[in-house]
Structure 1
Amino acid sequence: MKTLLVTGFEPFPGMPVNPTSLLVERLPKRLPSVRDVEFRFALLPTTWSGRKEVTDALRSTLAPAAIVHLGVDGRRRTINVETRAVNRATRIRPDADGQHAETPFLDRTGPSQRQSTLPARALQQAALRTGVPARLSVDAGDYLCNATLWDSIASGIPSIFIHVPSLPRGRFERRPSLQRVEAGVAAILIETARRI
């Protein structure tokens, strides 16, 4: 039995309701079983210290065959499949503990970027088939989303990061509903499970 690790994030400054927390809670009840694959879900703290204490521990304890990280980007109106992580970290925005990244680089001696190691286009197409808007992206940001993908790629475990939009704020909002995003993410996870 192979393990597919799926992570979301807790709330953080500026995002008091993180839709990925809701997805991690809802998706286990929605996903069909996939032969020889076990879905494992975890919620990550939105802290720089949690990057090592929690995320590294999950990778080593579960030894997953693949990882799909979920995060929110309040500026976007689509699901975004991140194709790379970059070697940078913001020193401006604090984490949920009020702390900042120690340096502007994730790895002072590392490469400038790392490519996602799961098939981004196939996962984007899986989401699109549900009717939810989905794009490929080359900008995972410079916050914990990008850092988490950076670390997972470096671990050698096939990994990708999926950014989802924040929850709609009213009936005239152009962001997709949580239900539509959930359907798209479920399709991405099923497609990933079939490929590992």
Structure 2
Amino acid sequence: MTPARRKTVLVTGFSPFPGAPLNPTERLMHRLAKRLGDHQCGVRFMFEVLPTTWAGRNEVTARLRREVRPDAIVHFGVDGSRRTLNIETRAVNQAVRVRPDATGQAPLRPELDPSAERARTATLPAEALRRAAAGSGVPVRLSRNAGTYLCNATLWDSIGSGIPSIFVHVPALPRGRRDTRPSLALIEEAALRIVKETARRLR
């Protein structure tokens, strides 16, 4: 009898980009990999840092989905305007053209796919993941606004691939003692709980 294929969770962060010279999700991928290893309780984990480029959507991210064939995808990205973790429940068919990517390029058109629907709904259980993350003590909210930059485009693509997917926006790291944004250690704990809950639901 052929053994069952081990379930796989693909977890991604992003490299720095204009406005975010230090992207905490890049560091988060390394820290989660050290804590979780490459498998746990029969579930395999893969941690990847995606380039913050429009070209990377096909050259890197789409290739990962094809080659890894994950059973679930949890994307992490930074949004400097947020002060809490936000679990994104929707991606829209829009691409902002006034904000360049890490190579200075803009998307080719204002829609991600001119022939597709206006919005797509995240396909992992957002509320369950929110509750799991909240157990870390970090404030976590559900959000319907993933923006119109590469975070939104990445979630849009992953949902469209048919793989259960979700996106988590984390705030920029705090600056100084009076800054109430969560530390990287707290973000890491919340992210760990999100990834573990995702894996638990695959078993």
Q: TM-score range by the shorter chain?
A: over 0.9
Please say if 1:26 is aligned against 2:31: yes
Give the equivalent residue in structure 1 for 2:110: 104
Give the equivalent residue in structure 2 for 1:67: 73
* Structure 1 residue 82 displacement after superposition: 0.3
1:33-112 mapped onto 2 (5 Å cutoff): 34-112=40-118
Give the equivalent residue in structure 1 for 2:196: 190
Please say if 1:134 is aligned against 2:140: yes
- Whether the aligned pair in 2 keeps the contact of 1:11 and 1:17 (CA below 8 Å) is yes
Give the equivalent residue in structure 1 for 2:18: 13
SS of aligned partner of 1:43: strand
CA distance in 1, matches of 2:147, 2:43: 30
Code of the aligned partner of 2:69: A
CA distance in 1, matches of 2:61, 2:153: 11
Give the equivalent residue in structure 2 for 1:171: 177
User: Identity rate of aligned residues, in percent?
Assistant: 61
CA distance in 1, matches of 2:58, 2:149: 14
Report the number of matched residues: 196
SS of aligned partner of 2:40: coil
Residue segments in structure 1 that go unaligned for 5+ positions in a row: none
CA distance in 1, matches of 2:71, 2:155: 15
> CA RMSD of the aligned region, Å?
0.9
Code of the aligned partner of 1:60: R
* Structure 1 residue 113 displacement after superposition: 0.3
Code of the aligned partner of 2:110: P
* Structure 1 residue 77 displacement after superposition: 0.7
Residue segments in structure 2 that go unaligned for 5+ positions in a row: 1-5
Give the equivalent residue in structure 2 for 1:158: 164
Code of the aligned partner of 2:28: L
